[in-house]
C-alpha cells in the first residue's frame, strides 16, 4: 500500500486498502480465537502440569484470553465483517476476494504434484461454497432481520478457515517448488562436504514440514467449516424464542 502511495497510484492504494479492510476482521477475530484454542491445548498437553505455574502454559492461556476482547471483541469483528464489510457493500468484497482465491487455485489444478493439486481443488470448492453461502445469507436477511447477527460468528470462523487454507496452499506451493529445484540436485549428496550436506538435509526437512503442515490444515482443520456452515444456515428462531424471565435460574420462585 505504501508503494502505491509513494508512486501516487491512488486507485492502487484504495484497492489494497479495501482488501485490508475486508481481511482485518477475519484475521483479528479468527486468529485470536485460534490462539485461545492453541493455548488451551498447550495446557492439555502438559496434563496436570499445564494447570500449575511451573511450565507457564497457564500464564499463556490467561494472557491470550484478552486478545479476543480488546481492540474489538470477536462478536463485533464478526458483525463488522458480515454486516458492514459485506452486506452493506452489496457483496462486492466477497466476490472480489473469492475471485482472488479462484485465480490462486487455477494454475495448480493440473499440477504434477498430487498433494498440491488435491488441495487446490479443495480450496476452490470451499471458496465457491463460501461465496454462494454469502449470497444465500443475503437473500435470507431480506426476510429475517436476525439472520446476519445470528450467523456472524460462525461466518467469521468459516472465513478464517478458508483464508488459513489459502495461505497454507501458497506456502505449500513455494515449498513444492523449492523441493523440486533441489531433487534431483545438480550436485549429488555424496559429493557435498559434511557441512553442505547437513544444510541441504535441514532445508529439505524444513520444506517437507511445510507440505505436511499444509496437509494437516486441509485435512484436520478445514473440515470444521462443515459445522460452521450448518450453524450459519440453521433457523434463527431458537435464539430469540426464550422470554427474558425464563433466563432466571432462581428455581425457588
Ligand X SMILES: Cc1cc2nc3c(=O)[nH]c(=O)nc-3n(C[C@H](O)[C@H](O)[C@H](O)COP(=O)(O)OP(=O)(O)OC[C@H]3O[C@@H](n4cnc5c(N)ncnc54)[C@H](O)[C@@H]3O)c2cc1C
- Out of 19, 75, 104, 204, the only residue in the binding site for ligand X (CB under 6 A) is 75
- Out of 55, 60, 73, 213, the only residue in the binding site for ligand X (CB under 6 A) is 73
Q: What mask of x and - would describe binding to ligand X in positions 184 to 223, judged by CB under 6 A? A: ----------------------------------------
Give whichever of 38 and 69 is closer to ligand X, judged by the CB atom: 69
Choose one: 33-41, 75-83, 84-92, 106-114; the region binding ligand X (CB under 6 A): 75-83
Least distance to ligand X, CB of residue 151, Å: 12
By CB under 6 A, residue 239 contacts ligand X: no
Q: How far is CA 53 from CA 7, 50, 56, 184, 238, in A?
A: 52, 7, 5, 49, 41
Give whichever of 75 and 89 is closer to ligand X, judged by the CB atom: 75
By CB under 6 A, residue 76 contacts ligand X: yes
Instruction: Dump the DSSP string for 173-240.
Output: HHHHHHHHHHSS-SS-GGGS-HHHHHHHHHHHHHHHHHHHHHHHIIIIIGGGHHHHHHHHHS-SHHHH
Q: What mask of x and - would describe binding to ligand X in positions 41 to 70, judged by CB under 6 A? A: -------------------------x--xx
Give whichever of 26 and 79 is closer to ligand X, judged by the CB atom: 79
How far is 62 from 60, CA to CA, in rounded Å? 5
Q: In 10 A of CB 48, how many CB atoms?
A: 7
Q: In 10 A of CB 222, how many CB atoms?
A: 20
The C-alpha cell at 159 is 472465513
Give whichever of 70 and 249 is closer to ligand X, judged by the CB atom: 70
Least distance to ligand X, CB of residue 230, Å: 21
Query: How many residues interact with ligand X (rule CB under 6 A)?
Result: 7
Choose one: 24-32, 72-80, 181-189, 228-236; the region binding ligand X (CB under 6 A): 72-80
Burial class of residue 179 (count of CB atoms within 10 Å of its CB; 0-12, 13-18, 19+): middle
Contacts for 198-207: CB closer than 8 Å, 24+ residues apart: 203/178, 204/179, 207/175, 207/176, 207/178, 207/179, 207/182
Q: Check: CB of residue 152 under 8 Å from CB of residue 79.
A: yes
By CB under 6 A, residue 236 contacts ligand X: no
Q: Check: CB of residue 101 under 8 Å from CB of residue 123.
A: yes
Give whichever of 32 and 163 is closer to ligand X, judged by the CB atom: 32
Give whichever of 78 and 217 is closer to ligand X, judged by the CB atom: 78
Choose one: 11-19, 53-61, 71-79, 162-170; the region binding ligand X (CB under 6 A): 71-79
Q: Which residues have a Cβ under 8 Å from the Cβ of 25 and sit 6 or more positions away?
A: 72, 77, 78, 80, 81, 85, 156
Least distance to ligand X, CB of residue 32, Å: 12
Residues at the interface with ligand X (CB under 6 A): 66, 69-70, 73, 75-76, 79
Amino acid at each position: 500500500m505504501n508503494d502505491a502511495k509513494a508512486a501516487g497510484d491512488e486507485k492502487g492504494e484504495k484497492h489494497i486498502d479495501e482488501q485490508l479492510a475486508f481481511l482485518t476482521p477475519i484475521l483479528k477475530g479468527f486468529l485470536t480465537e485460534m490462539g485461545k484454542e492453541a493455548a488451551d491445548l498447550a495446557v492439555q498437553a502438559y496434563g496436570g502440569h499445564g494447570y500449575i505455574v511451573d511450565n507457564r502454559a497457564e500464564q499463556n492461556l490467561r494472557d491470550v484470553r484478552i486478545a479476543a476482547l480488546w481492540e474489538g471483541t470477536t462478536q463485533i469483528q464478526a458483525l463488522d465483517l458480515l454486516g458492514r464489510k459485506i452486506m452493506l457493500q452489496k457483496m462486492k468484497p466477497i466476490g472480489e476476494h473469492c475471485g482472488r482465491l479462484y485465480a490462486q487455485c487455477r494454475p495448480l489444478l493440473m499440477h504434477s504434484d498430487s498433494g498440491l493439486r488435491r488441495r487446490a481443488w479443495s480450496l476452490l470448492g470451499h471458496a465457491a461454497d463460501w461465496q454462494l453461502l454469502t449470497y444465500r445469507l443475503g437473500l435470507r436477511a431480506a426476510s429475517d432481520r436476525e439472520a446476519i447477527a445470528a450467523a456472524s460468528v460462525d461466518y467469521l470462523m468459516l472465513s478464517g478457515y478458508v483464508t488459513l487454507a489459502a495461505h497454507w496452499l501458497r506456502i505449500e506451493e513455494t515449498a513444492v517448488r523449492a523441493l523440486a529445484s533441489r531433487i534431483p540436485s545438480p550436485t549429488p549428496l555424496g559429493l557435498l562436504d559434511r557441512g553442505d550436506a547437513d544444510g541441504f538435509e535441514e532445508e529439505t526437512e524444513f520444506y517437507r514440514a511445510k507440505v505436511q503442515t499444509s496437509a494437516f490444515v486441509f485435512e484436520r482443520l478445514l473440515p470444521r467449516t462443515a459445522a460452521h456452515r450448518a450453524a450459519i444456515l440453521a433457523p434463527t428462531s431458537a435464539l430469540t424464542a426464550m422470554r427474558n424471565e425464563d433466563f432466571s435460574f432462581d428455581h425457588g420462585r
